[in-house]
Structure 1
Amino acid sequence: MSHDILLCDLDAFFASVEQRDHPEYRGRPVIVGGRPDERGVVATCSYEARKYGIRSAMPMNRAVKLCPNAVFLPVDMARYRRVSAQVFAVYVRFAAQIEPVSIDEAYLAVPSGKGMATARKIRETVRRELNLPVSIGVSVNKLLAKMACEMAKPDGLKQIKPEDVPAVIWPLPVRKLYGVGPHTEERLRQIGVRTIGQLAMFPENELVRVFGSFGATLHQYANGIDSREIEPVRKVKSVGEEITFPRDVYDKEAILKTLLELAEQVGCRLRKKGLKGRTVMVKIRYSDFSAITRSRTLPDFVDGDGTIYRVARELFLANCGRPPWRLVGIQVSNLDDGACEQLSLFTEPDRDGQLCKLVDELREKYGKDVIKKAALLNFSSF
């Protein structure tokens, strides 16, 4: 059975929730992210703020300079997750197949020919029941639905049919094509490709010569072809946490204490999801904004804070370079849900993970501060 594909994207989601819940913010530039007087980045901003050139991932101090009179708000992720769940509950009424992309974005598959009518009903329902704007792109595949959604923003609806590709898609700059980042755009420019139409007409074998197998994908995308299926359940590929310090940090011991906190957070999230991982990665960013990542793959799957911290600590100490440091982060990947994990006769029980699960239970019952790692008892915030 063929389907129409919808991409539903909540417009400026965090900022829209804040404007909905605080009428005094409506019509004003709203910026959600780090504190304006500290280091951090913009998580999202309202369309009123975007008129000043503010964008997601922009350093907060830059956003303050561009729009000093904006409303600056911290990220309230717990509230945004609750609202997201309410929106996705609306989607379920209209589509049996839903692929979440992020907290504010999802692909939906509906019967062929029903795409536009369903999209209109979804937008009306989300606006009426939750008072939030959602832009929706409609097409026959994910690629064109995504591009239609981008064209529909903000708070709009657009359909792109396969026969529309030459007139609607081909005149666009090649950077507008899904999968084309700055590096790919530059390499395409070097071979004379500046528009999506030029990419569609470029010999596929030449693209494969330049980009490898990705060249064939680029050629298909430029012609509006995308064979990716809707994946109703997206498999978690990694769990990570990172922190940007309010000012440069020169103290190595302070960084190690931060890594211990991050390891606890990552371990807790893994255990809540019933996951374990084998690969631990550390991210380090310096004061000049340069960054490195280093990882190590372990012989066994782990979810214990102690093991995660031990590996992260060793990776940091071996690769930290010279201070100061601006950001550190930990990520655990190469995940497994434990269903197929086998214990070797020569493997010690995962006492670290077992102890951490007990600590999780105590914190859940009595509060997160009931137990602290000894190294954190005297740790003052930066």
Structure 2
Amino acid sequence: MILHLDMDAFFAAVEQMDNPELRGKPVIIGGGLRGVVSTASYEARVFGVHSAMPIVTARRLCPQGIFVHGRRRRYAELSRAIMTALGDFSPLVEPASIDEAYLDATGLTRLFGPLEELIARIKTRVAEVTGGLTCSVGAAPVKFLAKICSDVNKPDGVFILRPEEVDAFLLPLEVGRLPGVGRRMVGSLRDLGIVTVAQLRRYSPEFLEGRYGKWGRALYERAHGIDPRPVTPERPVKSESAECTFERDTRDREFLVRMLLAHAERVGASLRRHQLSGRTITLKVKFADFRQITRSRTLPEATNATETIFETGRDLLRELRLAQPVRLIGLGVSGFEENPVQFLLPGLAGGAAGGRDGRDPQREARRRKLDQALDTLRGRFGKEAVQRGRLFRQEKADTPEAGGVTKKK
């Protein structure tokens, strides 16, 4: 059996736990007018507010809602505690996001008793390490069914699907309940007369694959309760990025450059913390009309130096014509190597003239030394202990994740 644990309204629940005045009230994580809802408390959900909804829509549906800017560092701290606690029960724990994880429960009943008792102990332990937060747990023979099951009795619920019950559970389900089937896919399937899983089973894998490609084959397998994916404790991170949406659209290049430096600070620090370095720097820009473009540059040598990441992003921005005001800007690094690169020093291959990308190796060494010093100070005295002077005039963006680091796996 595989368990899927999903924290209940995680971000909002954390805010209500840390601030008793918010308990029992409609709390919506998201601020300003331009962002989207990250999470809504159950008190807000009764008004129709849900995650990924535009803030302006949430304000209209729930005018009495309390809108709170998110605290990613606090959520990440509790997430780490949750994942560590799950590791006390099984070595096979796969974080699926900041607030959900899979756990392979095969054989654990011999250590912890029946499945119901195991799940009760897990829920109790999660509450202990988080200060009282609740979670919902689904148990099933395969991953995608466990994920569906964790949503059945939310909040603070449990639903166990035994192998012999899979067909009876699956057949009446609407296809939109299958993970990965979005609104567009639901519409396409409805055009074929498919609303439930039972109706989906009428079609052959060849037909579905011919219509939807590789996803068609996966769709056929899901309809038959097949999911060969194991619980994988660690998946390599493929990219790290930071982005923010502005309160007002802007063409101010000086401001955009400062935001890129702030993003480079966050991404660089995260890369160094995880002992990663990357060769590809990507600039992301979304314009006022919601048109989005990306521009990338691949360096000959991998880096995690803040200034190098920033300079590459700044150069990409300089080459970009701002046909419209900018709504969002982001900066990311990918093409990882597991260990930070050691740039060539004068006298070694590449010589005093620079490394393979023409950079001065001594300057890169100074940048690494500066980054190390800043990381040490911030780790000891807090994130705001020291800041580059060019960021002093930085304006505040309005999304709860503004400037936050995003890991893609």
TM-score calculated relative to the size of structure 1: 0.88
Deviations 1:142-189 (A, max 9, x none): 111111112232211001233323322222221211122233333333
Taking only aligned residues, the RMSD between alpha carbons, in angstroms, comes to 2.7
2:54 paired residue among 50, 59, 69: 59
Determine the structure 1 residue equivalent to 2:100.
Answer: 105
- Which is worse superposed, 122-131 or 14-23? 122-131
After superposition, the C-alpha distances for 1:236-258 in whole angstroms (9 at most, x for unaligned) are: 12111001111111223321222
The residue that corresponds to 1:229 in the other structure is 230
Q: Does 1:13 align with 2:14?
A: no
After superposition, give the CA deviation of every residue in 1:279-325 in whole Å (9 maximum; x if it has no partner). Answer: 22222112233323333333332222233223323433444541211
Offset at 1:332? 1.1
Shift of 1:352: 5.6
1:301 aligned partner: 302
Given residue 208 of structure 1, which amino acid in structure 2 is its aligned partner?
E
Q: Indicate the SS of the match to 2:245.
A: strand
Using CA pairs under 8 Å that are at least 6 residues apart, name the structure with larger relative contact order, 1 or 2. 2
Shift of the 201–320 alpha-carbon distance from structure 1 to 2, 3 Å rule, reads: farther
Q: 1:221-273 CA distances to partner (integer Å, 9 max, x unpaired)?
A: 11111111111123212111001111111223321222222122212211121
Cα distance change, pair 378–109 in 1 and its aligned pair in 2 (3 A):
closer
Cα distance in 1 between the residues matched to 2:53 and 2:119: 32
Distance 1:380 1:215, change over 3 A: closer
Asked whether the equivalents of residues 92 and 233 of structure 2 are also in contact (C-alpha less than 8 Å), the reply is yes
Give the direction of change, closer, same or farther, for the CA distance of 1:164–1:294 in structure 2 (3 Å limit).
Answer: farther
The C-alpha deviation readout for 1:6-58, integer Å capped at 9, x for no partner, is 01111111111222233332211111223x4x532222110111111111122
Distance 1:276 1:358 in 2: 15
Structure 1 pair 315/361, CA: closer, same or farther in 2 (3 Å)? closer
Alignment of 1:175-254 (within 5 A): 175-254=176-255
Stretches of structure 1 lacking an aligned partner (at least 5 in a row): none
Alignment of 1:288-327 (within 5 A): 288-327=289-328
**Matching of residues 250-265 of structure 1 within 5 Å:** 250-265=251-266
Distance in 2 between residues matched to 1:58 and 1:320, nearest whole Å: 30
Match of 1:362 among 359, 365, 373: 373
Helix, strand or coil at the partner of 2:172: coil
- Matched residue type, 1:32: I
Quickly say closer, same or farther: Cα 1:342–1:353, change in 2 above 3 A: closer
CA distance in 2, matches of 1:98, 1:326: 38
Contact 2:343–2:361 under 8 Å retained in 1: no
Aligned with residue 345 of structure 1, among 345, 349, 352 = 349
Residue 78 of structure 2, aligned match among 74, 83, 87: 83
| Deviation, structure 1 residue 380 | 5.5
Deviates more, 1:279-288 or 1:47-56: 279-288
> Could you list the per-position Cα deviations for residues 48-86 of structure 1 after superposition, in whole angstroms to 9, with x for gaps in the alignment?
111111111223232222222222222122222222233
Partner Cα distance (2:5, 2:237) in 1: 21
Deviates most, 185-194 or 215-224: 185-194
Cα gap change, 1:70 to 1:380, in 2 (>3 Å): closer
Q: Is the 8 A contact 1:96 1:110 kept in 2?
A: no
1:72 is paired with a residue whose SS is: strand
C-alpha distance in 2 between matches for 1:139 and 1:55:
26
Corresponding position: 1:33 with 2:30? yes
Cα–Cα, structure 1 residues 268 and 174, in superposed 2: closer, same or farther, change >3 Å?
same
CA 1:324–1:87: 2 relative to 1, 3 Å: same
Q: Match of 1:125? A: 125
Change (3 A) 1:353 1:12: farther
Residues in 2 aligned to 1:177 and 1:239: alpha-carbon distance in whole angstroms: 28
- Aligned identity (percent) is 38
Q: Using the TM superposition, give the Cα deviation of residue 371 of structure 1 relative to its aligned residue in structure 2, in angstroms.
A: 5.5
Preserved CA contact (<8 Å) 1:54 1:66: yes
Name the SS of the counterpart of 1:247 in structure 2.
Answer: strand
Distance 2:299 2:193 in 1: 45
Matched-pair contact (CA < 8 Å) for 1:39–1:246? yes
Corresponding position of 1:281: 282
In 1, are the aligned partners of 2:302 and 2:341 still within 8 Å (CA)? no
Name the CA distance, whole Å, in 1 between partners of 2:176 and 2:230: 24
Instruction: Give the whole-Å Cα distance in 2 for the aligned partners of 1:360 and 1:119.
Output: 44
Residue 33 of structure 1 aligns to which amino acid in structure 2? G
Which range is displaced more, 362-371 or 307-316?
Answer: 362-371
Q: 2:323 and 2:101 mapped to 1: Cα distance?
A: 42
Contact in 2 for aligned 1:303/1:353 (Cα 8 Å): no
Q: Which residue of 1 aligns with 2:406?
A: none
CA shift for structure 1 position 99 = 0.9
Contact 1:271 1:357 in 2 (8 A): no
Amino acid paired to 1:325: V
Over 3 Å counting, the alpha-carbon distance change for 1:260 and 1:341 in structure 2 is closer
Partners of 1:284 and 1:292 within 8 A in 2: yes
